[in-house]
């Protein structure tokens, strides 16, 4: 291929064209920045400094001066919702939807924000209707997530299952653990209404969704017990150990009651002692202590609590030890020992809480769904003090 002299002339031409294109782009950026209202930067600065009240005032002024600016309306509506002024947020997003000149993508945006307003205000029927209109468009995934939240709030578990499956099929990630919990909720309701056969069928679906679901395994034992099959119930409850050793504390009393029903209480006690060696917890100690006291006597019960306190020193354990010591304490030391026990017990009640690992919400009882953040399976099956000692 021969070299042509005129090719050299193309180099500066191409360089000049590139320089010109860059200048045009920069001018466009500068031009666009000049079209933004001056108050926009002021409002943005307030937001960055977490001064929401001042940011709202600044955006209100921008919207007043430029009522056609949809983006500013969205920003203002979101700020109102974050401040809890849902009525004002609803009006803003409704006004946007009413504009005939609004492009379709912004209409969908306004509809989604309106649904979030309704959700925040607790107007669940309106929120559901609004999100239903979005599940086949650009906002499909967030709309489905919002619908899933609504169905959980309303405890409409069949619809929650349907929504979770739809969300999963849309490519928004696995929802199998949630689906398993929804089936557990339905099964628990069936057990309350004395329908163990129906409960077992629902729990089988739960385990198909999540084979390692501890709750479904526990409830299967409850359903089998309700059918009168104690041995099968014991097998199901013992399976909890294979899934999660710490969770055996939640089935300890069930197991002991079951072994009593079949006339093998010592076998049940030996099993619980083996669990205690693997995963000591105050809830498990509570159950084992009472059974040891009943079957093996006071000295064995005191020795059990003393050994566990040495292994895992907690105030909750000390409280239990003082309780054991009071049973046969000399009459002259009972008043002082009782005083110490009562003072300690009052304090340990604050420590005897389960705590959500996601939001930190504390509760006296164990929850599968956190009452604070509504997440599933975020409660460790141990009390807060025990977790602090372990950490």
User: What's the CA gap between 145 and 138, in Å, rounded?
Assistant: 13
> Residue length, the chain?
391
Task: Give me 344's structure tokens.
Answer: 């300690």
User: What's the CA gap between 358 and 374, in Å, rounded?
Assistant: 10
Which residues lie closer than 8 Å to 268 by C-beta, 6 or more apart?
255, 256, 258, 259, 260, 291
User: What's the CA gap between 312 and 20, in Å, rounded?
Assistant: 75
184 assigned ligand-binding residue? no
Contact call for residues 237 and 220 (beta carbons, < 8 A)? no
User: What's the CA gap between 324 and 320, in Å, rounded?
Assistant: 6
Which residues lie closer than 8 Å to 251 by C-beta, 6 or more apart?
218, 221, 237, 240
Nearest to 145 by CA among 160, 126, 133: 160
CB atoms within 10 A of CB 389: 15
User: What's the CA gap between 191 and 121, in Å, rounded?
Assistant: 34
Cα-based angle 83, 89, 95 (whole degrees, multiple of 5): 165
CB atoms within 10 A of CB 20: 10
Q: Which positions make up the binding site for Fe cation? A: 356, 359, 370, 373
Annotated binding-site residue numbers: 356, 359, 370, 373
């Amino acid at each position: 291929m021969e070299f042509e002299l005129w090719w050299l002339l193309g180099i500066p031409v191409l360089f000049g064209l590139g320089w010109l294109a860059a200048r045009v782009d920069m001018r466009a950026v500068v031009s666009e920045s000049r079209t933004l209202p001056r108050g926009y930067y002021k409002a943005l600065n307030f937001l960055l400094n977490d001064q929401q009240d001042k940011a709202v005032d600044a955006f209100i002024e921008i919207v007043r001066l430029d009522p056609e600016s949809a983006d500013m309306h969205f920003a203002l509506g979101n700020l109102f919702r974050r401040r809890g002024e849902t009525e004002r947020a609803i009006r803003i997003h409704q006004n946007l939807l009413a504009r005939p000149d609004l492009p379709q993508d912004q209409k969908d945006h306004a509809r989604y924000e309106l649904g979030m307003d309704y959700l925040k205000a607790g107007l669940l029927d309106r929120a559901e209707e609004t999100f239903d209109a979005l599940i086949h468009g650009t906002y499909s995934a967030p709309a489905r997530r919002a619908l899933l939240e609504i169905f959980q709030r309303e405890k409409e578990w069949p619809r929650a299952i349907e929504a979770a499956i739809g969300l999963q099929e849309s490519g928004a990630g696995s929802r199998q653990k949630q689906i398993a919990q929804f089936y557990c909720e339905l099964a628990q309701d069936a057990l309350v209404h004395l329908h163990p056969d129906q409960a077992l069928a629902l729990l089988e679906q739960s385990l198909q969704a999540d084979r390692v679901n501890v709750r479904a395994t526990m409830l299967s034992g409850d359903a089998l017990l309700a059918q009168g099959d104690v041995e099968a119930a014991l097998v199901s409850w013992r399976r909890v150990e294979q899934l999660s050793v710490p969770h055996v504390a939640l089935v300890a009393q069930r197991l002991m009651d079951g072994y009593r029903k079949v006339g093998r209480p010592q076998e049940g006690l030996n099993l619980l002692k083996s669990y205690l060696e693997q995963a000591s917890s105050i809830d498990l100690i509570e159950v084992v202590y009472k059974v040891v006291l009943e079957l093996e006597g006071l000295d064995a019960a005191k020795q059990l609590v003393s050994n566990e306190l040495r292994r895992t020193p907690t105030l909750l354990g000390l409280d239990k030890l003082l309780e054991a010591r009071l049973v046969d304490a000399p009459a002259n030391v009972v008043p002082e020992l009782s005083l110490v026990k009562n003072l300690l017990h009052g304090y340990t009640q604050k420590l005897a809480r389960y705590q959500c690992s996601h939001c930190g919400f504390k509760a006296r009882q164990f929850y599968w769904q956190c009452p604070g953040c509504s997440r599933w399976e975020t409660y460790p099956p141990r009390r807060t003090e025990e977790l602090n000692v372990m950490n």
